[in-house]
Chains A and B, each alone.
Chain A
Amino acid sequence: MRLSQAWIVAAKDFATFTKKKNIVYTVLIIPLVIAVALPGVIFYVQHRPNGAAVSAAELTTLLPAFVFFYVIIAGFVPTTIASYSLVGEKLEKSIEPLLATPTTDGEILLGKGIAAFIPPMMAILGSSVLFMGLMDTFTHAALGYYYFPNWDAAAMLFVAVPLAVVMSVEWNVFVSSRVSDVRISQQLGTIVILPLAGLYVGGEVGIVPLGALSTPLYIAGALAVVDLLLLSVVRETFQRDVILTKWR
Chain B
Amino acid sequence: MIEAKGLTKKFGELTAVDAVTFSVAEGEVFGFLGPNGAGKTTTVRMLCCLISKTSGEARIGDYDVSKEQDSIKIRQMIGVVPDNVGLYEPLSAYKNLDLYGRLYGMTEMKRRESIQRYLTMLGLWEKRDVPAGTFSKGMKQKLAIARALIHDPEVLFMDEPTANLDPESAKTVRDFIMELKKEKRTIFLNSHNLDEVEKVCDKIAILNTKLMATGTPAELEGMVGARKVMIGLAQANGAVVESLSKKYPGLTASPDGMTLTFAPKDPEGQIPDIVEAVVRAGGRVRSAAVEGSTLEATYLQLVRRDAS
Contact = CB atoms under 8 A, between A and B. Distances in A.
B248 interface: no
Interface residues of B, number: 32
Interface stretch (B80-88, B193-201, B207-215, B300-308): B80-88
A217 interface: no
A100 B104 contact: no
A20 B220 CA distance: 51
Contact of A240 (B50, B78, B87): B50
A211 to B, nearest CB: 45
Interface residues of A, number: 25
Contacts of A98: 86, 103
Contacts of A16: 88, 90-91
Contacts of A99: 50
A102 B84 contact: no
Nearest to A111: B103
B99 A97 contact: no
A94 B122 CA distance: 21
Contact of B51 (A20, A94, A102, A240): A240
Contacts of A94: 86-88
Interface string A89-106: 000111111111111100
Interface in A1-55: 5, 8-9, 12, 15-16, 19-20
B11 A245 contact: yes
A97 B50 contact: no
B240 interface: no
A5 B104 CA distance: 9
Contacts of A204: none
A98 B80 CA distance: 10
B86 A93 contact: yes
Contacts of A101: 75, 100, 103-104
A5 B103 contact: yes
A101 B76 CA distance: 7
A28 to B, nearest CB: 18
Interface string B91-108: 100010001101111000
Contacts of B45: 244
B121 interface: no
Contacts of A96: 50, 80, 82, 84, 86
Contacts of B149: none
Contacts of B95: 15
Nearest to A90: B86
Cβ-closest 4 pairs across A and B:
A93-B84, A19-B90, A94-B86, A93-B86
Interface of A: 5, 8-9, 12, 15-16, 19-20, 92-104, 240-241, 244-245
9 contacts: A12-B91, A92-B87, A93-B86, A96-B82, A96-B84, A100-B78, A103-B75, A241-B52, A244-B45
Given A100-B80, A241-B52, 5 more contacts: A8-B102, A97-B86, A100-B48, A101-B103, A104-B72
